[in-house]
Amino acid sequence: MDSWQNCKNILVIRLDNMGDLLMSTPAIRALKETFKSKITVLTSSMAAGITPHIPEIDETITFDVPWVKTANASFSNVFLKMVDVLKEKQFDAAIIFTVFSQNPMPAVMLAYLADIPKRLAYCRENPYELLTNWVPDEEPYTLIKHQVKRDLDLVATVGTKTSNDLLSLKIPKAWNSAKEKLHKNSIDLQKPWIILHPGVSEIKRQYPTQNWIELGKRLIADFDCQVIITGSASEKKLTDEIQQGIGTNAFSVAGLLSLDEFICLIKEASLLIAVNTGPVHIAAATQTPVIVLYAQTNPQHTPWKTPNKVLFFEVPEALQSKNEVLKFVQKEAEKVPEIVAVEAILEAVATLSF
């Protein structure tokens, strides 16, 4: 532990999506507060956009790796170039954060080849010289922790502490520009609104379009609110279809807002209803109430310390993961509905005192 006290230039490797990086922010804060170090994050292009709003991060290196699902995976020659980039940074230590179903070894090898002297990660087998500090990974066979707790417990093994385990996200100054765009789209900002975020990165997480439409109609009728349907530009066809199905007081804004404006929209919203995807963790970071229509996949990514309701539904057998670790979780999981009923969502909305 004493030797880690001298680590003033630390690399954090979190190569997944935006939500994954947000869930690692309490652990990153613990590193920053304990060692008073510069923190560089190596992350994917899917997550890099959020890093300017995480105060504990001093520098970001973007790298899309072939062992994480992405449309922009790097080739082997780029991997070797990244080794050289990391060598030049002369890091004192590297921490590799992973989901329990991931193999840490490719990222560990990256840090090892970059001659980073201290390397910390969870691992299922003895990594010998590849890691200087490692924690045997008991998940999910012995227990399952929330991802935030998993990451905090990892860095605690080298002596870190923090009194603040909330997700870290500085709200950007983009609400005025967001309001202008929303006003131009006939959204009345004097009335409450609920965000629906239907887009998914994996088909197994999707909630049926017709159910979104039925839900939107009932929300407007039962709670006298507006419904704002968000998504990326590539999801505009879906959000437009849902908006047209709902009708009056529903608005499709997919592709309209920048990430900064989208964060502000979530911050100002009365409620977010989404599948288990990145905006859920933005809501947790902004302390916005959230309802998650949660495909029964990794169970440790529920909203962290914000008012929430998680409604699980079954992943069809044909779409279930081939990962043996996740197969174990699926086998041990409690039986859940094939699909979340709209009535169950409305009950959750009432529970959250909208």
Q: Decide if pLDDT at 70 tops 80.
A: no
pLDDT at 333: 78
**Cα–Cα distance for residue pair 307/26, rounded to 1 Å:** 18
Four-CA torsion 7, 8, 13, 14, nearest 10 degrees: 120
Give start and end residues of each alpha helix (H) in the chain: 18-35, 45-48, 76-89, 105-113, 147-156, 175-184, 209-223, 236-246, 259-268, 278-286, 324-332, 342-351
pLDDT at 259: 97
**Cα–Cα distance for residue pair 255/231, rounded to 1 Å:** 6
Q: Decide if pLDDT at 312 tops 70.
A: yes
pTM of the model: 0.95
pLDDT at 290: 98
pLDDT at 326: 83
Q: Decide if pLDDT at 54 tops 70.
A: yes
Answer whether 45's CB lies under 8 Å from 128's CB. Answer: no
Helix axes 18-35, 147-156, angle to 10 degrees: 30
pLDDT at 320: 81
Mean pLDDT (the chain) is 94
Cis ω on the peptide bond leading into residue 316 (within 30° of 0)? no
Other Cβ atoms less than 10 A from the Cβ of 274: the count is: 26
Going along the chain from its start, the domains and CATH numbers come out as 3-156 (3.40.50.2000), 175-351 (3.40.50.2000)
Answer whether 131's CB lies under 8 Å from 119's CB. Answer: yes
Instruction: Identify the residue whose tokens are 């605690």.
Output: 156
Average pLDDT for 171-196: 96
- Report residue 73's pLDDT band, with 50, 70 and 90 as the boundaries: low
Answer whether 40's CB lies under 8 Å from 59's CB. Answer: yes
Q: Decide if pLDDT at 32 tops 60.
A: yes
pLDDT at 9: 98
Helix (H) or strand (E) holding 62: strand 59-62
pLDDT at 233: 95
Local structure of 337: helix, strand or coil: coil
- Report residue 354's pLDDT band, with 50, 70 and 90 as the boundaries: low
- Report residue 2's pLDDT band, with 50, 70 and 90 as the boundaries: low
Average pLDDT for 108-120: 98
Instruction: Identify the residue whose tokens are 């529920």.
Output: 302
Q: Decide if pLDDT at 74 tops 70.
A: no
Per residue in 129-167, pLDDT (tens digit) is: 999 999 999 999 999 999 999 999 999 999 999 999 999
First to last CA, the chain: 47
For residue 75, the Cα-to-chain-centroid distance in whole angstroms is: 25
Instruction: Identify the residue whose tokens are 């003895």.
Output: 126
Query: Lowest mean pLDDT: which of 104-108, 246-250, 335-339?
Result: 335-339
Name the residue with higher pLDDT: 228 or 318. 228
pLDDT at 200: 86
Structural tokens at position 346:
């409305």
Per residue in 195-211, pLDDT (tens digit) is: 999 998 778 889 999 99
Per residue in 315-353, pLDDT (tens digit) is: 887 778 888 888 888 888 788 888 999 999 999 999 997
